[in-house]
Amino acid sequence: MAFFKYKIRIFWLILLVIIIFFLIWQKVSPSGEWTCRQNFNVTSLSLVKDTLGGYSCLSNPTPTERVISGVSGPLVVLADPVYFSVFTPRSFSRVEVEITYRPHLSSSTPIVEAGFLADNKLWRYDLQPVYNLWLEKGLTDWQVLSMGSIHLFQRQAKFDSIFDFLDAWQNNGSSICSTPRCLAIYNFDLSGFPPALNQKQLNETSKSLVFPYTIRGANQFYFYLSGSTLNLSGELIDRNEGKDKDPIELSVYSGSRLVASTKIEDNGMEIEGSGDFSESKIFQMNKSGLNPGLYRLDFRASDDLMINNLSLNVQYFSALRKIWLENDEPIHLITDSSYLQVKTLSPAALQKLKFDEKFLNIEEIYKQYEIKGIETDNHEIDLAKGGLILENNGVFSLNKESMFNPDYPRLDRSFGTSAQFDYILADYESAKNESDNYLSSRLDFSTSSFYREKGRYNFIISVPGLKLNQADASYLEIKEIKMRFYGNSLWFKIRNWLNI
Amino acid sequence: MVQNKKLVKYMKKAVIIKEFFYFLSSLLLLAVLVELIFPGLFILFFNLAFLTMLWLILALLTLLYVRQ
């Protein structure tokens, strides 16, 4: 009996050692690769596996009301966006994502994008195209030039190659256009090329601007500096609603180059989570030796932080894509985008807002509202008070004098209503046809700058404009998501360590 | 002779249950350690709730066999 007991004990000890080695192997991933695959077509076999095995490396999609995931069949996405988290045993430098899907989309929801959270403070996702209805089916009467995944769509055939076009654009900019902003881009980086606006048209007087409203949370701004010195100041107020400390990081970029940065720590005078507003704390940023030109200002801060009396020695100042203002007084802004998305987190901010000549009633908190304006260059926004998060694909400014947008127009869901473009430049890989009318798209990301917490990356699938109970019943079916992560192999690390 | 055979069989069963209980206890201890050091790694491959349920059943069975 003792021998029998000894045999069994040896057996389970060996099994335990194998499990330990298996876990170490997975953690180290010596080959430098890790695959996470989730098939949403659930079978009885996968149900058994899910019961006996562990969690999937890809979490369930959230919010659950935006998806339908039945016992069998694909995952159905009904509203935008849907979030996942992806577990990896260690960090990797690159990931290939392959999504197999069946789009049931319309001209109001023409784009599917997917990506990872790159900045958890600015809540910025690095997105790449999965499917673009305009590029797949919508531009049939345009002339197209292709070079790998890069495509140039011309309303009228003027250029024979993409090189000719880029050369003409580099040398002449928007003067080759018949309309002021004739080039739209999609997933294409035109840094190094002239900006979308003609800087000579900007009035180069050095004025100073005091932003009259209180800015809340993380925001990004464009400004045009006419001199060589930047003087920026303001007052910080901490709402102390969250339980974490609230530092703020102010960064100024010229293109993608960081030219100035400062970090202000939370002084911790009040108890976090108490809801007691802190005293105003004055901050300043002065930077000399800058070249006159376009800059971007990033406020990386939590939603608890507010900036009052923001002052800069610039005339042109625009908030990029999103602005969240907190004032009890009426607010007037303008935007260059023809639509506006509105959301509030506070019952006190519920109100009726005016966009151009239209009104929109904000009656529920956490609900995303959308309003379309009239066909004009600039659109007026009037709010009775602050507390609303305003978003669109353009910029927000105080008035026409301070408004400018150096970004190229993007081929997005508002494209269908716009006939201003002569050219569209896109970096887009067409979807591959699979069986049962499914399509598959492959995306490639560099993960080194992605936000990773507790071994998980945050993954998003976005179909802008897709809403629950939509009149045109658009939806997206996802059959499978496969992610293949790549990093340095153990052998490479050993060789590197030994300097071989 | 027959009684002896039955006793051996019974004792073998008891040994198997006991040893399986020890194995699962070690595995659960390993799970706690791995989850403390590398969160998410163990539960990716093993269903902790299922293992705990099995461990509880075996604990009851072990008590039963030891008592007898």
A24 and A43 housed in the same domain: no
Tell me if chain B has a CB within 8 Å of the CB of A3. no
Q: Residue A327: which domain range?
A: 323-403
Domain membership of residue A255 (yes or no) is no
Is A178 inside a domain boundary?
A: no
Instruction: Give the gap in angstroms from C-alpha B47 to the nearest C-alpha of chain A.
Output: 4
A53 and A125: one domain?
yes
The residue whose two tokens read 């239209």 is: A358
Residue A229 to residue A295: CA distance in whole angstroms: 12
Contact of B15 with chain A, judged by CB distance below 8 Å, is answered with: yes
Mean of all residue pLDDT scores within chain A: 86
Chain B hits for A26, Cβ within 8 Å: 41, 44-45
Task: Report the CATH number that the domain containing residue A80 is assigned in CATH.
Answer: 2.60.120
> Are A380 and A456 in the same domain?
no
Give the nearest partner residue to A54 out of B26, B30, B44, using CB atoms: B44
- Total tally of structural domains belonging to chain A: 3
Q: What is the pLDDT of residues A144-166, one digit of tens each?
A: 898 888 999 888 888 888 888 88
**pLDDT exceeds cutoff 70 at B35:** yes
Same domain, yes or no, for A77 and A128?
Answer: yes
**Residue A307 to residue A212: CA distance in whole angstroms:** 10
Q: Cα distance from B44 to chain A (closest Cα, Å)?
A: 5
Using the Cβ of A15 and the Cβ atoms of chain B, whether some distance falls under 8 Å is answered with yes
Low-confidence winner among A52-66, B16-30, B43-57 (lowest mean pLDDT):
A52-66
Query: What domain range is B35 assigned to?
Result: 2-67
Residue A201 lies in a domain: no
Do residues A124 and A99 both lie within one domain? yes
B11 or A428, higher pLDDT = A428
Q: Determine the pLDDT at residue A381.
A: 93
Specify whether A22 is located in the same domain as A40: no
Taking an 8 Å cut-off on Cβ atoms, the answer to whether B15 and A52 are in contact is no
Residue A225 lies inside a defined structural domain of this protein: no
At a CB cut-off of 8 Å and minimum separation 6, what does A265 contact?
A: A245, A247
What's the structural domain count of chain B? 1
Residue A229 is assigned to a structural domain of this protein:
no
Residue A128 lies in a domain: yes
Return the minimum-mean-pLDDT range out of A458-462, B5-9, B41-45: B5-9
In a domain, A171, yes or no: no
If one compares A71 and B7, the residue with the highest pLDDT of the two is: B7
Same domain, A371 and A459: no
Cβ atoms of residues A390 and A419 within 8 Å: no
Does the distance separating the beta carbons of A51 and B50 come in below 8 Å? yes
Cβ contact, residue pair A87, B40, below 8 Å: yes
Same domain, A88 and A25: no
Helices (H) and strands (E) in chain B — how many of each? Answer: 3, 0
pLDDT at A201: 65
Let me know if residue A290 belongs to a domain.
Answer: no
Same structural domain, A25 and A102: no
Q: Please tell me if residue B51 touches chain A, with a CB cutoff of 8 Å.
A: no
Q: What does DSSP say about strands A456-462 and A293-300: parallel, antiparallel, or unpaired?
A: unpaired
Q: Which residue of B has its CA nearest to A15?
A: B23
Residue written as token pair 């590029």: A135
User: Is A88 found in the same domain as A48?
Assistant: yes
**For residues A185-204, average pLDDT:** 73
